[in-house]
Amino acid sequence: MNEILRMSMNEMAEADFDCSCGRHHSLPIKKIAIGKGVINQLPEVAAAFKGKQVYMISDNNTWKAAGEKANRMMTEAGFEIKNYIFERGKEILIPDELAIGRMLLEMPLDTALIVSVGSGTLNDMAKYLSSRTGVPYIIVCTAPSMDGYVADGAPLICNGQKISYVATLAYGVVGDTDIMKAAPMHMIHAGLGDVLGKLTALTDWSLAVAMIHEYRCDTCVKLVEEALQKCITNAPLLKERNEEAILYLIEALTLTGVTMAIVGVSRPASGSEHLLSHYWEMDFIARHKYPELHGIKVGIATPIVAEIYELLKDDLPAETKALVPRREFVEKLLRSAGAMISPKEVGIERELFYRSLMEANTVRKRYSVFQYAKDQGRLEEVAEIITERIYGK
């Protein structure tokens, strides 16, 4: 029972066990390689496809970071590679109809394996393409920036709206800390923000259990909490690109993806903080503005959600009350790594901020502290208090 609690990150591939939560869990990912120098294991991870057509996707930044080396290693090992490199300047790559369509158009008919070299956007597009074509994919991680490397959802932009499509899990994950510690610091901050979001995500999950009797797997909760604690302890070292801190960060991000995969829902990793992030992003896209990185917005949203919980603390169920993180604690962790903490720093105006607090519960059908505050008749009060604290009267 729960042998996954005794496994290392790399041993979790193809985990299959009966859990104390009463369910049987399995992780169909074939290979996980996280650690120093593991990009050298890429030909071994992809060995089942040797001699077959491989479609490698990157952008001009990730090509320099890891794509060129991955291409050379696989070519020398006997793989047939077709590369497609998205060219972009300073703008972020938007995973919309144009990008997805272009990626599909460039894909060889006899592709046996997709290899995506990148982080959030390139991973999401590859897993979507994989799910629609039936061709497995491997992700070569280039930044510890988000938790979707081993998740089966693909948040994409369609008709200006952010929609999380059901996609597929990766065949293999290769995360080399030598590569990821050299990622732009902004992306490392994004990873930290995404990890700290688990503080409020787990609190939301507890609230949903207490209020609407939602299913929860305590094994998954324990896995996330243990990984989260390592990141919290080492957060100040991220600004120095400390290798151990980077390893704990990518392990936590990967592990929360594993927990999502084995329980089949995103509860272990995503709560009210993600609802705010998605709301802000959809507003920016609708106004043709480039949104901030997902994890940066999640990091900013997490202390805000923590403050909502603090304001409602006296009325919360006892178990949930015990999990509530303090706003100042989360902000201190973000500051210790040099990350942003205010919505004003990413261009979120007062009107958008207030509206997001009032309407975040509409982003997706999921019980959250926003719904709880609304049901208690206190959402408007809470929104006004927090908006005035950040933006003034």
Q: Rounded to an integer, what distance in angstroms lies between the CA atom of residue 291 and that of residue 294?
A: 8
pLDDT in tens, 43-75: 999 999 999 999 999 999 999 999 999 999 999
pLDDT value at residue 241: 96
**Taking CA 340 as the corner, what is the angle to CA 337 and CA 341, rounded to the nearest 5 degrees?**
110
Candidates 2.40.50.140, 3.60.20.10, 3.40.50.300, 3.40.50.1970; CATH matching 3-180: 3.40.50.1970
Distance CA 339, CA 120 (A): 19
Closest CA to 362 of 275, 239, 255, 303: 275
**pLDDT tens, residue by residue, 325-369:** 999 999 999 999 999 999 999 999 999 999 999 999 999 889 999
Whether 177 and 250 have beta carbons less than 8 Å apart is answered as: yes
**CATH annotation of 185-391:** 1.20.1090.10
User: For position 1, what pLDDT does the model report?
Assistant: 56
The Cα-based distances of 72 to 31, 63, 106, 132 in angstroms read 21, 11, 20, 28
Rounded CA separation 217/223 (Å): 10
Model-level pTM?
0.92
Neighbours of 38 (CB within 10 A): 22
User: Which of 118-122, 125-129, 133-137, 194-198 bottoms out in mean pLDDT, i.e. has the lowest?
Assistant: 118-122
E-only strand ranges, 19-123: 24-26, 31-35, 53-59, 80-86, 111-118
φ/ψ (deg, to 5) at 154: -125, 95
Tokens of 101: 């369509």
Residue 89 is classified by DSSP as S
> In this structure, what token pair is assigned to residue 176?
């080399």
Q: How confident is the model at residue 235 (pLDDT cuts 50, 70, 90)?
A: very high
Q: Tell how many helices (H) and how many strands (E) occur in the chain.
A: 16, 10
Structure tokens, 11: 């041993």
Residue with tokens 């997902």: 294
Residue spans per domain, the chain? 3-180, 185-391
* β-bridge pairing 53-59 and 80-86: parallel
Provide the pLDDT for residue 393. Answer: 81
Q: What is the pLDDT of residues 163-201, one digit of tens each?
A: 889 899 999 999 999 999 999 999 999 999 999 999 999
Alpha-carbon distance of 356 to 339, in angstroms, equals 22
Tokens for 367?
A: 């019980």
